Amino acid sequence: MSRAALGQGMTSARTRARMVERLQQQGIHDKGVLAAINKVERHLFVDEAFAHRAYEDTALPLGLGQTISQPFIVARMIECLRAGDRPLGKTLEIGTGCGYQASVLAGLTKEVYSIERLAGLISRAKINLRAIKCFNVRLKHGDGYQGIPEVAPFDSIILAAAAPKVPAALLQQMAVGGRMVLPFGASSDDAVQRMLVIERTEAGWNEQLMEPVKFVPMLPGVE
């Protein structure tokens, strides 16, 4: 069955709406985040073999050892970035993957930058974003640990992979008043990862550990 046909069935607007209802039931309250997720056709970002599962609340494989994050985690992390009615402003995403989370971010702010270390994924993300006419995301093939200093500072930074320590370069690329959300901790099977929220003030950085999460590891360099 083609993706167009799937769009009339398992991946219809009604199916997306049911996913959003489940996110609300799970505790996502930010109406802007829910609306942005409702607009993005997630089945277009996953392999056709998994398109029928695109609106389940689960991570799905992308190949190259990577995954597309489960919708709840995408919603929750962006909700934390926006907590307190805070606008996202200029946003940096570390770990473009297939482009799904970047497309959700693009529905909430005018300026999104996203960096991905795997050339195969950045090429795929470009195709996906172009297909849905998402033109306010700027993509870069590079090392996420280094960020994108040439266009810093950023008001919001979000990481789509778990870092064993907070990248120093990303701390420096935060604007004063900016916020960063990341999965924090090692990525071994028995390791505990937590979502970490960091805010930059005139005096320095404030950190708050949140709920447990499980992400693939954030790796340095490019491939």
Which residue is associated with the tokens 């089945």? Answer: 43
Give the single-character DSSP code of 163.
Answer: B
Residue 186, phi then psi, degrees to nearest 5: -70, 165
The Cα 150–Cα 156 span in angstroms is 16
Instruction: Determine if residue 41 is left, alpha or beta; phi over 0 gives left, psi from -120 to 50 gives alpha, anything else beta.
Output: beta
Catalytic residue numbers, as ranges: 69
For residues 219 and 191, the answer to whether their CB atoms sit within 8 Å is: no
Give 168's contacts (C-beta < 8 A, 6+ positions apart). none
